[in-house]
Amino acid sequence: MKSEKIQDLGLDPEKLPVHIAIIMDGNGRWAKKRLMNRVKGHEKGSKTVRSIVGAVRELGVGMLTLYAFSTENWERPKVEVKALMMLLKRFLVSERDELMTRDIRLNILGQKEKLPGDIQEETDKTVDMTRNNQGMVLNLALSYGSRQEITLAVRSLAQKVLSGLIRPDEISEEMISDHLYTRQMPDPDLIIRTSGEFRLSNFLMWQAAYSELFITDTLWPDFTKDELIEILINFQERDRRFGKVKCST
């Protein structure tokens, strides 16, 4: 979107976040309110995924990370897990053209190896196909958990110490960041959680150190581009100090 258009929305194009991450919560409650099966909520939630990916791309934000399936979500009833996997597959296949047209690169964060074989195939295909796209990065967090991610990083660093590649005192914050699924990616500037819960739920806990958090009561299936813009306006009004003080007086 042109910068004048972004200004018309009340946004400063210079102060847009580089990376937005979203905890998409409330699909089940959305369905329950309508006396529907939870799966219907996930179906409507998938439509919201499509529209919000498009909106973030249009606004010119470089990276969007969506928490689509956590390491804990495997414990949900089998039918629900199956339905979520089916929706995911549908998204990966049906959105390929859209991702290519909009120049969006798809990336997966999480335990890819735990996903069913057909989902792994479709993710690999979409990731490969979109590899050279430059317009935006879409990270789907799938079978993702921060503690699992940090555990893997610790194991990998311990292995490097053991084999003499690095000394323990050489381990730095940057080195830890470089052993996470998000290696080489900017930390999220803004983390949005829908449906009113005030928690991170094992999502990007290392990367969220200085993220601005925004909780909205809106349930994910009802989340819209207009609300996203309101949140971005609020984000631009915040004073991000990263633990420092702003002026020298």
Which of the residues are catalytic? 25, 73
Helix or strand holding residue 214 (H, E): strand 212-215
Give the range of 80-88, 153-161, 183-191, 239-247 binding ligand FPP by CB under 6 A. 80-88
* Least distance in angstroms from the C-beta of 41 to ligand FPP: 6
Beta carbons of 119 and 112 less than 8 angstroms apart? no
Residue-by-residue DSSP string for 160-182: HHHTTSS-GGG--HHHHHTTSTT
Is residue 52 at the binding interface for ligand FPP, with CB under 6 A as the rule?
A: no
Residue 64 touches ligand FPP, criterion: CB under 6 A: no
Contact call for residue 122 and ligand FPP (CB under 6 A) = no
Binding residues with ligand FPP: total (CB under 6 A): 20
Output 84 or 232, the one with its CB closest to ligand FPP. 84
* Structure token digits, residue 195: 């449906």
Closest approach of ligand FPP to the CB of residue 163, in Å: 38
Site string for ligand FPP, 176-195 (x = CB under 6 A): -------------------x
Ramachandran category for residue 115: left, alpha or beta (phi over 0 → left; psi -120 to 50 → alpha): beta
Q: Which of 6, 21, 61, 68 binds ligand FPP (CB under 6 A)?
A: 68
* Shortest distance, position 164 Cβ to ligand FPP, whole Å: 42
Q: Residue 172 in 3-state DSSP?
A: coil
Element (H, E) at 187: none
Whichever of 140 and 232 has its CB closer to ligand FPP, that residue is 140
Which span (2-10, 87-95, 121-129, 154-162) binds ligand FPP, by CB under 6 A?
87-95
Q: How many CA atoms lie within 13 A of 239 on its CB side?
A: 5
The helix/strand/coil state of 130 is coil
Any bridge partners for residue 65, and if so which? Answer: 21, 139
CB 20 within 8 A of CB 188: yes
45 contacts ligand FPP (rule: CB under 6 A): yes
Considering the rule CB under 6 A, would residue 112 count as an interface residue with ligand FPP?
Answer: no
Q: Work out the end-to-end distance of the chain between its first and last CA atoms, rounded to an integer number of angstroms.
A: 39
Is residue 57 part of the contact set for ligand FPP (CB under 6 A)? no
| Residue 140 binds ligand FPP, judged by CB under 6 A | yes
Alpha-carbon distance values, 7 to 11, 46, 51, 228 (Å): 5, 29, 21, 15
Residue written as token pair 């050489």: 170
Q: Does 126 bind ligand FPP (CB under 6 A)?
A: no
Interface residue with ligand FPP, options 6, 64, 91, 136 (CB under 6 A): 91
Q: Which is nearer to ligand FPP, 13 or 54 (CB)?
A: 54
Instruction: Give yes or no for a contact between 193 and 26, defined as CB atoms under 8 angstroms apart.
Output: no
Instruction: Return residues touching ligand FPP (CB under 6 A).
Output: 24-29, 42, 45-46, 49, 66, 68, 73, 84, 87-88, 91, 140, 195, 220
